[in-house]
């Protein structure tokens, strides 16, 4: 009755039979909860336990993952720049505020809408077990952060160094409403990122 679909270093479920479609509205509540509350793999658990640089920020395909990636998505949602579209496979749409804000930061939104991949979707994070931003928008933001000097990929590794707090990028354009200090620098990888509570890394 189900097929398995590999997605961002984890397995997610999708309903394979059309005759199951009448039941799919009931699926998101338990499926999303099961995925997000499932324990990390042993390798991911080690990264979390030691609060490594890999856990704090890394690449996942072409987008930003780890604590920094999860907090970046939460900042974009909290600021009203993205709106959730689909709970079954988290997708997001850009709001007018988000379109204007990201365009002001150098993203060519019209080009993104023509991309073959999804515009913006959630990808279950390997260590945090919460979504970070994937899709064409996630990849474009990663490139923009890299070329703007906010992040740098460690050569030969998926690890990403945060050179400047990402809030500076979110708050960079005069006239844009400030975003709460959700994302801190990981230049000192022994210090956890500060989340909403300011008490350390996401749990």
pLDDT digits (tens, 9 = 90+) for 101-127: 999 998 888 888 776 778 899 999 999
The reply to whether 175 falls in a domain is no
pLDDT tens-digit series, residues 166-196: 988 988 754 444 454 445 555 444 443 332 2
Does residue 39 lie in a domain region? yes
Query: Does 188 reside within a domain?
Result: no
Count of domains observed in the chain = 1
User: What does the alpha-carbon distance between residue 53 and residue 171 come to, in Å, rounded to a whole number?
Assistant: 25
CB 186 within 8 A of CB 84: no
Q: Is residue 180 part of a domain?
A: no
Sheet strands (E) in 79-167: 82-86, 91-94, 121-124, 131-134, 151-153, 160-162
Rounded to two decimals, the pTM is 0.72
53 inside domain: yes
Structural domain that includes position 26: 2-170
């Amino acid at each position: 009755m189900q097929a398995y679909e590999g997605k961002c270093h984890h397995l997610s479920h999708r309903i394979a039979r059309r005759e199951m479609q009448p039941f799919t509205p009931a699926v998101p509540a338990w499926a999303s909860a099961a995925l997000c509350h499932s324990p990390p793999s042993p390798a991911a658990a080690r990264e979390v336990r030691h609060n490594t640089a890999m856990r704090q920020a890394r690449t996942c395909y072409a987008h930003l993952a780890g604590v920094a990636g999860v907090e970046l998505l939460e900042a974009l949602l909290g600021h009203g720049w993205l709106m959730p579209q689909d709970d079954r496979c988290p997708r997001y749409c850009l709001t007018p505020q988000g379109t204007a804000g990201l365009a002001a930061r150098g993203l060519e939104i019209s080009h993104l809408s023509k991309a073959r991949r999804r515009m913006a979707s959630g990808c279950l994070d390997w260590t945090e077990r919460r979504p970070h931003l994937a899709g064409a928008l996630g990849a474009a933001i990663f490139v923009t952060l890299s070329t703007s000097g906010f992040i740098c990929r460690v050569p030969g590794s998926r690890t990403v160094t945060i050179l400047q707090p990402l809030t500076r990028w979110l708050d960079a354009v005069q006239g844009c409403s400030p975003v709460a200090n959700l994302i801190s620098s990981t230049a000192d990888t022994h210090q956890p990122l500060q989340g909403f509570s300011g008490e350390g890394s996401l749990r």
